[in-house]
Structure 1
Amino acid sequence: MEPTNHTAVSEFLLLGMTEDPALQPLLFSLFLSMYLVTILGNLLIILAVSSDPSLHTPAYFFLCSLSFNDIGFSTSTIPKVLSNILTQDQSITYGACLSQVCFVIVFAVLENFLLAVMAYDRYVAICHPLRYTVIMNPRLCVLLVLVSLLLSVADALLHTLLLLRLSFCTHLEMPHFFCELAHVIELSCSDTLTDNITVFVATCIFAGVPLCGIIFSYTHIVSSVLRMPSSEGKHKAFSTCGSHLCVVSLFYGTGLGVYMSSAVTDSPKNSAVASVMYAIVPQMLNPFIYSLRNRDMKQALRKLLGRTGSLL
């Protein structure tokens, strides 16, 4: 088949997880519920931290940044899914698809960096407690988030610009519920060696390096905690890291699950279901993990809900 230039491509088709009309209302309700829980949960975290002066610390500043990112991550995918189900139209325009690819990469990479920054914050708090306020000053905190954002945007723009040079054939059906970089590359009729190499290198750098930073931080944290003389001190130190460790395990665990799913099975539907686990589920559960495992966050949420209730 003779490839056509990408300028002739007007739209892609997102086939989603099932084409069974009887299941569409169920899927709509499921995605809508997950989206609302994600938005409300992360907004509550942001409002609770903003309204409680005792939480105006680097750790909670990074938590708010993570909540903003989780809202953006979910918003980059779920509204289009809901729109397609509601209108019974599986199409997404070429421009919208590339934009979605770009935003998904930005938020996914930024999530990696924020989790690494949060691990570094815990490392400084536990291993260098006397110098914590000096090291984790407001300027450094803002700089870490801004640099993370800039690197994420640069990576997303690189992949998106490489996609612009690709040509596509007439088979433009994507067995997925959103435009994912790997699936868009697979649809191309062009030589995609450069794109695939770039994806591999970028994944090693923008996912591997933050993960190594997290492992490095927790290696030193565990070593420092084990040297503490009192069991109470050990428990307190580990409890400050519990929520972050759960979030890290959830994010990288689901990401590894997607990779294993695509490697083990050839079923596109199974791959689409697995992608829900990393693109939606962690962002929905993060607020619950932090609010249920963190005593200070529980108190801040009670105060916020109490003030809101009194106003109503």
Structure 2
Amino acid sequence: MVLKLSFACWDYDRMKAIEDGRVRPEGIELTFLNYRVEETFFRQLRFKEFDVSELSLSSYVLTLNQEDPPFIALPVFPSRFFRHQSIYINKNAGILSPADLKGKRIGTPEYQSLFSFSDSQDGANIFTVTAPVWQRGIMEDEFDVPIASVDWYVGAIEKSDHPRISKISHSLPPGVKVTAIKQGQNLSEMLANGEIDAIFSASRPSSLDTSPNVKRLFDNFKEVEAEYYKRTNIFPIMHVVALKRSIYETNPWVAKTLTKAFSKALDMAYEPLRERSALRYMLPWLEDHVEETQKLMGDDAKWWKDGFAENKHVIDKFLEYHYKQGLSKRRFMPEEIFAPSALETFVL
């Protein structure tokens, strides 16, 4: 008997072999639904539409605060991103180094957990952006900028973003100040005109391109991120793959089978990057980038690694940040947040 499951995920290169059927999980008929991450997250977190889906790591961990968590994760990480490059500042704010962020007004799409969308006022959505969790943690760990040393402003990055009304939780850590921006405001414009001094975000504010007042905190972000990786061995995880807990409890074998399939698809994604007879991607110096990345991050010729053992230290650091920032009700351990049967390392 074949188990039919839906899987909502963006069509990343590491998921292509799942999407096009070259990799098929044994005993599972997986229907791949190609949605951008914002749509997947909203539909899954609010309506639980999909059997398996990509989820924001922060939003997933927030669901574990519930009495009956609806999802359980696999050690599969569709999205990873160094986020030093995604911190933006107003040039006139007197920020010459990261330490100068102390006492400043910093915008971020979300801080905590509860948001009601304007067309769904009947309920709240568990939703946080993972990138600012990493950014806040790194600023405190690496540059001595505690989260309570700045004023946080939450809201839409752009005026075209779907409007949402922030519901600030009362469980913020002591001294942390979070203010929802006014309806009609957006963080990108506020940064450009000096109403806020910086933005911590996953997305790039349009004012970086349109305003002479906006720049990145780290002009040399590539060097900064490479040095961070050399020292910490952390390639920040943004998203996980999670399945409905009810499906896992009924079919515990599914977690291991899916994890094995995703591992095979990831392995296959390296082949087109190494193809040299013709360029598979529109990057004329792809070979140089691959060699540079492999030299820094790929001691076994692979730099993007799924699996629990390889990423335990990354997950542990994120869970530390999540708890210290008032997002987790308790300090979770890495082993707790994944399906037990999926924690083994697969050798293909």
Tell whether the structures are fold-level matches, with TM greater than 0.5: no
The normalised TM-score by structure 2 is 0.24
Higher RCO by CA contacts (8 Å cutoff, separation 6 or greater): 1
Report the structure, 1 or 2, having the larger helix content.
Answer: 1
The normalised TM-score by structure 1 is 0.26
